[in-house]
Amino acid sequence: MLLVIDCGNTDVVFGIFKDSKLFHCWRVKTFTTINKKDFLSQLLEQLGNINISPNQIKYVIFASVVNEASACFSFLESSFSIPFASISDPSIKLPIDIDVPDPSQVGEDRIVNAVAGSTLANSDVIIVDFGTATTFDIVKIVYGRPIYSGGIIAPGVNLSLQALSKVASKLPNININKYPDRVPIIGKNTQDAMWSGIIWGYVGLIEGIINKIKSEADSNFEIIATGGLAGLYLPYSELINRQEKDLTLLGLHEIAENNGFI
């Protein structure tokens, strides 16, 4: 079995692959990495809940965009007799080329998403990740080889809502997890108007950026959405071709396979 870990700014997502299939996944809040021993206990408890012992796991591969979590992952590695690998390790072979001046500035999760997205699409692809930030990552296929060409980082939906509520005290709180069946463009009250901004404002952002990328790159990209809020926007955007909620986990599995870990 392979354990993959994606440590993002908000959540740490775990995935267990069994016979190259995603067997089980779960998430915990990233701030829990502060207490290394508790984090380890939670991991062992979760493995026990699905009847997996640590010695059944042959390899661990992880990606992290949180520097403060590095001590926690070092502690995990020292607590298990299992090989650990970070995709930031120079010895890791990536099945993708990074065409930017300083590849170290590209978030590890974005590289992993690019690996998975290019494989799923088997064509030029834009990955839109609705996470803490809303990111766009562009991959082109050149002579059969995927090339990461760069991307865009915009404020995430939740961050925008939090900023709005801080400076506009009279606006109601919006629970992003309880959304209307359909959101009209013109709101008839404050809450509906805010929902219109959440949906149609971001659809305008998403589709405007995608169309600009297509025009400048002169390519008809496939568009893959991922991240916690991807499903919210899928019904409203005509440009998104598919959603893959486990994209980062699939990318980590592919990198592990490319390096002979499984």
Sequence ranges of the domains in the chain: 2-86, 97-245
pLDDT class of 81 with cuts at 50, 70, 90: confident
Burial of 206 (0-12, 13-18, 19+ CB in 10 A): buried
Alpha-carbon distance of 45 to 14, in angstroms, equals: 13
- The pTM score is 0.92
Q: Domain 2-86: which topology?
A: Nucleotidyltransferase; domain 5 (3.30.420)
Q: Do 2-86 and 97-245 have matching folds?
A: yes
Active centre residues (catalytic): 109
Three-state SS for the chain is CEEEEEECCCEEEEEEEECCEEEEEEEEEHHHHHCHHHHHHHHHHHHHHCCCCHHHCCEEEEEECCHHHHHHHHHHHHHCCCCEEECCCCCCCCCCEECCCCHHHCCHHHHHHHHHHHHHHCCCEEEEEECCEEEEEEEEEECCEEEEEEEEEEECHHHHHHHHHHHCCCCCCCCCCCCCCCCCCCCCCHHHHHHHHHHHHHHHHHHHHHHHHHHHHCCCCEEEEECCCHHHHCCCCCCCCEECCCHHHHHHHHHHHHCCCC
pLDDT tens-digit series, residues 170-209: 788 888 888 888 999 999 999 999 999 999 999 999 999 9
The CATH architecture annotation of domain 97-245 reads 2-Layer Sandwich (3.30)
Q: Which residue has the higher pLDDT, 163 or 102?
A: 102
Mean pLDDT, rounded, of the chain: 93
The predicted structure's pLDDT at residue 179: 85
pLDDT tens-digit series, residues 28-59: 999 999 999 999 999 999 999 999 999 999 99
The predicted structure's pLDDT at residue 228: 87
The predicted structure's pLDDT at residue 22: 96
pLDDT tens-digit series, residues 153-179: 999 998 888 888 778 777 888 888 888
